[in-house]
């Protein structure tokens, strides 16, 4: 019985052993079949995949094109960017290495935190930038101490450099890192150090300046570490861009506009110390960081003026200077703008990020009066000798419209009205014309429309019409609004670029010259449309502009200097930004310089030179600067003197004097 039991147990064991052997044999057979499938049947496929994983494609960023002025001076260039990187796996203690590095070069605390964060997120062999834009002295110091800085290595790349800083930033613009919203699928945009244009020429011509990227293969191991770099194809450098700007004039105009009527002195000047003792401070935006401060005529520390200047060739349309102040240093964006600096630029009360020359919109004030007179001549509602008596005001219905001169100008003809900037004369011309004829002529002279200059952000201004007011405000046009438009106020808005273009069209014989900023050396001289303005009509307003500066009663006669090497013509403008009440008129109007800055009038001036052969037009706008004759006209004069000084040969190349158009 026992024997039978043992035999049964033996049979069970044999069956189970046989079953287990069969299972093992099946598993090994399956494994062998899979290995055969992978190594024989799919061998070619996996060989290709292995090679694809072994070699990666690396993009090589292209060299960005440069920006030049008309004489070949560099406005935007590429320079060597020395940076220090750290490889975490090559140092036993990242924090200790960074501490030693900080003894040699300046590294911000937030940079240290960023590096420590990145070392935790990235693989140990991936290099991490610690600090960049170092000087050669800094790099030499790091190189000498390299044996004591494990994991630290020096790299040389390229960064954008703007030699003229804030003097040309509103022209060149600046470059900065690519944001997520700007990604287009182009892989080169995803490179960590790649920069694209954010404003100005850098933005508008970004694709041309950017060029095309190069490519090369790199051999990597299974972890992604680069083992070997293979030869590749070079990228195509970006195209250079040349501007019509003369950077000498651009720099001078920037400094002259910022100074205004103030005196530029050293921060150590006793008058500055006296002002500080009286409770004033070196407010942000004075030039205290460069050791100089603006002092006004009363010995008060003042901010640099806010405004714009445009200098333009009246026959070719070339823009020789396009200035907006205050500005900012575009090189800060290459170094890495801190949140504090960015907030300062955005919250600055005088808007340094705005290009006021093309995006600032202002009522033209009395600089618009030439167009109203020209429209009156063209419509036949007046002739040059038409006289109007100015008692200091005009009444329309139950409203009274005042002239800037309280007791009036007496009887004036058209050139006299331009010379003395009589508001009542222009009220009368506007009443005879109506808003439609004023708007029509203003549009022909470049107001109310974009001039399509080669810069992003240009504003169109506004030339009001009956239809515009009805469509936008749901109201009908009033006769009083026509009178206000006649002196360049009310709804009327224009940019400094439009004012320069208007002036150029007035003095070049009535041709619709358009401004251009990109300089093409091989282009033919442009052929502009003739506006068909009778020459004797143009002669009347030009003679009026002559008398504004050179006449005995001209509003800008104070800007004329005996030693000026030439004569020029122009027109002043003072634009109210705060309405003067009847009570203020009776009690006595507070002088501009005694009002809060934001309540002061805008100072404006348009001019041309030389007087007998106009070649250049200039427009000057000083925000809240006060009277156009006191501050804007002297700025324009100095800029015209410099324009002719640096380019005297250009003056005689194509002359259209008063005799030519009259």
Domains of the chain plus CATH, in order, are 58-242 (3.90.1310.10), 261-304 (no CATH), 308-519+527-661 (3.40.710.10)
The pLDDT assigned to 182 comes to: 82
CA pseudo-torsion sign 114, 119, 123, 127: positive
The residues facing 243 across adjacent strands are 518
Helices vs strands, H then E, count in the chain: 25, 22
Instruction: For Cα atoms 494, 497, 499, give the angle at the middle one, nearest 5 degrees.
Output: 60
**Residues in the chain where the model's pLDDT stays below 70:** 1-8, 38, 42-60, 125-126, 190-192, 214-235, 279, 281-291, 335-336, 521-525, 579-590, 592-593, 648-662
Cα 392 from Cα 404, distance rounded (Å): 7
The pLDDT assigned to 653 comes to: 38
CA pseudo-torsion sign 532, 537, 539, 542: negative
The pLDDT assigned to 36 comes to: 76
User: Is-contact 518 454, C-beta < 8 A?
Assistant: yes
Is 366 one of the catalytic residues? yes
The residues facing 81 across adjacent strands are 157
A 10 A CB-CB count for 22 gives 10
The pLDDT assigned to 551 comes to: 94
535 CB-near residues (< 8 Å, 6+ apart): 509, 510, 661, 662
Helix axis angle for 496-507 and 369-379, nearest 10°, is 40
The pLDDT assigned to 658 comes to: 35
The pLDDT assigned to 625 comes to: 87
User: Structure tokens of 365?
Assistant: 């004030």
A 10 A CB-CB count for 658 gives 18
Nearest to 336 by CA among 519, 524, 81: 81
User: Is-contact 174 162, C-beta < 8 A?
Assistant: yes
Cα 637 from Cα 157, distance rounded (Å): 45
Cα 418 from Cα 412, distance rounded (Å): 9
Among residues 366, 421, 619, 629, which one is catalytic? Answer: 366
Nearest to 132 by CA among 109, 114, 158, 150: 158
What pairing do the DSSP bridges indicate for beta strands 214-220 and 55-60? antiparallel
> Following CA atoms 178, 183, 185, 187 in sequence, which dihedral angle do they give, to the nearest 10 degrees?
10
Nearest to 416 by CA among 296, 553, 510, 537: 553
Diameter of the chain measured on Cα atoms: 151
The pLDDT assigned to 610 comes to: 94
Q: Is 284 helix (H, G, I), strand (E, B) or coil?
A: coil
The residues facing 197 across adjacent strands are 175
The pLDDT assigned to 660 comes to: 35
Backbone phi, psi, residue 446, to 5°: 95, 5
């Amino acid at each position: 019985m026992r024997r039978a039991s043992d035999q049964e147990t033996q049979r069970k064991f044999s069956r189970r052993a046989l079953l287990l052997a069969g299972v093992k044999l099946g598993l090994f057979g399956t494994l062998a079949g899979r290995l055969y499938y992978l190594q024989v049947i799919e061998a070619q496929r996996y060989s290709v995949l292995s090679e694809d994983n072994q070699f990666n494609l690396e993009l090589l960023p292209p060299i960005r094109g440069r920006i030049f002025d008309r004489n070949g001076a560099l406005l935007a260039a590429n320079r060597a960017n020395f940076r220090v990187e750290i490889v975490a796996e090559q140092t036993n203690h990242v924090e200790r290495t960074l501490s030693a590095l900080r003894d040699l070069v300046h590294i911000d605390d937030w940079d240290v935190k960023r590096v420590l964060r990145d070392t935790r997120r990235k693989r140990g062999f991936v290099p991490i930038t610690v600090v960049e834009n170092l000087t050669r002295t800094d790099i030499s110091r790091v190189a000498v101490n390299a044996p004591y800085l494990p994991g630290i290595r020096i790299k040389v790349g390229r960064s954008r450099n703007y030699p003229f800083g804030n003097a040309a930033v509103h022209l060149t613009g600046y470059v900065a890192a690519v944001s997520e919203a700007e990604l287009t699928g182009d892989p080169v945009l995803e490179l960590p150090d790649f920069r694209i244009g954010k404003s100005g020429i850098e933005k508008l011509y970004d694709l041309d300046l950017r060029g095309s990227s190069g490519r090369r293969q790199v051999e990597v191991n299974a972890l992604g570490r680069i083992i070997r770099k293979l030869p590749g194809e070079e990228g195509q450098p970006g195209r250079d861009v040349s501007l019509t700007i003369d950077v000498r004039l651009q720099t001078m105009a920037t400094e002259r506009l910022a100074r205004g009527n103030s005196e530029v002195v050293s921060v150590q000047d006793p008058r500055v110390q006296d002002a500080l003792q009286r409770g004033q401070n070196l407010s942000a935006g004075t030039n205290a960081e460069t050791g100089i401060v603006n002092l006004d005529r009363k010995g008060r520390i003042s901010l640099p003026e806010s405004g714009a200047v445009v200098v333009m060739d009246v026959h070719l349309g070339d823009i020789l200077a396009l200035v907006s102040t205050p500005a900012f240093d575009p090189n800060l964006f290459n170094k890495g703008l801190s949140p504090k600096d960015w907030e300062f630029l955005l919250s600055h009360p005088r808007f340094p990020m705005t290009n006021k020359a093309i995006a600032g919109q202002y009522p033209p004030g009395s600089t618009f009066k030439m167009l109203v007179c020209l429209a009156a001549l063209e419509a036949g509602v007046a002739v040059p000798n038409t006289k109007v008596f100015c008692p200091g005001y005009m009444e329309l219905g139950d409203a009274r419209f005042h002239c800037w001169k309280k007791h009036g100008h007496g009887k004036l003809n058209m050139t006299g009205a331009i010379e003395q900037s009589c508001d009542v004369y222009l009220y009368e011309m506007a009443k005879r014309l109506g808003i439609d004829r004023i708007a029509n002529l203003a549009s022909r002279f470049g107001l109310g429309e974009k001039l399509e200059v080669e810069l992003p952000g240009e504003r169109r201004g506004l030339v009001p019409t009956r239809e515009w007011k009805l469509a936008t405000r749901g109201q009908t046009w009033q006769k009083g609004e026509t009178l206000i438009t006649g002196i360049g106020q009310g709804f009327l808005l224009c940019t400094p670029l439009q004012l320069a273009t208007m002036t150029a069209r007035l003095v070049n014989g009535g041709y619709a010259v358009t401004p251009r900023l990109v300089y093409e050396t091989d282009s033919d001289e442009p052929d502009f449309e003739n506006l068909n303005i009778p020459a004797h009509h143009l002669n009347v307003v030009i003679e009026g502009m002559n008398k504004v500066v050179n006449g005995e009663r001209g509003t800008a006669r104070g800007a004329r200097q005996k030693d000026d090497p030439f004569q020029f013509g122009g027109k002043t403008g003072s634009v109210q930004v705060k309405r003067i009440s009847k009570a203020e008129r009776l009690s006595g109007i507070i002088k501009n310089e005694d009002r809060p800055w934001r309540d002061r009038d805008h100072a404006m001036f348009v001019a041309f030179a030389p007087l007998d052969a106009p070649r250049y037009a200039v427009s000057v706008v000083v925000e809240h600067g006060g009277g156009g004759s006191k501050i804007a006209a002297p700025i324009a004069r100095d800029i015209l003197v410099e324009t002719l000084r640096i380019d005297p040969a250009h003056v005689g190349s194509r002359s259209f004097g008063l005799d030519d158009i009259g």
